[in-house]
Amino acid sequence: MTNTEHSHDTETGDPQEFWDRLYSEREQIWSGNPNPWVVSFATELTPGRALDLGAGEGGDSVWLAERGWQVTAVDITEIALARLRAAAAERGVGERIRAERYDLATDFPTGAFDLVSAQFFQSPVELPRFDILRKAAHALAPGGLLLIVDHGAMPPWARNAHHHADFPAPREVYEGLGLDETQWHAEVLESRERDAIGPDGESAVLIDNVIAIRRLG
């Protein structure tokens, strides 16, 4: 799982096989740059322990580690994780990142985290997303932040998009987690625009759904 621009319609099939196949298509899938909302939110936080869900090739994990975070980076495909480790070593932050393979549908990292990041944690193959994000909220240390960013609409260059793809609103995502509001507080539930460049150099304004949840106490 990672920040894919593919359709959000659920397909059947083995998730690890899907993501292994995707990452095997090219030597590099993503730009290597951090996601902009990670930069925006994490810049305001004191570095601590971070959990990067669906870390992919490690753009966010490496950026966080360079700024003093201790990062647990997880993904379902070892192909992506190998690239993440190589990028971390090249940038001199390998000791700050623990890259581990998890099938989050059946297992979840242990520990308490000051930041849990789920960037575009949407999958075209079956994924118990709400269950995983609920576990992510419970994995926060007191005062910790869960940052969820979803596609709010299909990017124009996603040529394989289905017209009925589902993009739940930020409040719908938050309410779907069923969190006790005496223990968690939704700080941001917004759709935000950002400028982006597509794979063929085309420019567009994208809509991202931003959900930031703080654990209280």
Phi-psi region of 147 (alpha: psi -120 to 50; beta: other; left: phi over 0): beta
State residue 75's pLDDT score: 95
Count of domains observed in the chain: 1
Q: What is the pLDDT along the chain (217 residues), one digit of tens a residue?
A: 443 333 334 455 788 777 767 777 777 776 768 999 999 999 999 999 999 999 999 999 999 999 999 999 999 999 999 999 999 999 999 999 999 999 999 999 999 999 999 999 987 778 899 999 999 999 999 999 999 999 998 877 775 544 446 789 999 999 999 999 999 999 999 999 988 877 677 888 899 999 999 999 7
Domain with 41 in it: 15-215
**Does some domain include residue 4?**
no
**Does some domain include residue 44?**
yes
**Does some domain include residue 6?**
no
| Prediction pTM value | 0.88
Give residues with Cβ within 8 angstroms of 163, minimum separation 6: none
Q: Are strands 97-101 and 184-197 parallel, antiparallel or unpaired?
A: unpaired
CATH of the domain at 98: 3.40.50.150
**Does some domain include residue 38?**
yes
**Does some domain include residue 100?**
yes
**Does some domain include residue 1?**
no
**Does some domain include residue 7?**
no
Residue appearing with tokens 């849990």: 116
Cβ–Cβ < 8 Å for 168, 210 = no
**Does some domain include residue 10?**
no
Cβ–Cβ < 8 Å for 70, 92 = no
State residue 213's pLDDT score: 98
Rounded to 10 degrees, the C-alpha dihedral 19/21/25/31 comes to 10
DSSP conformational letter for 32: S
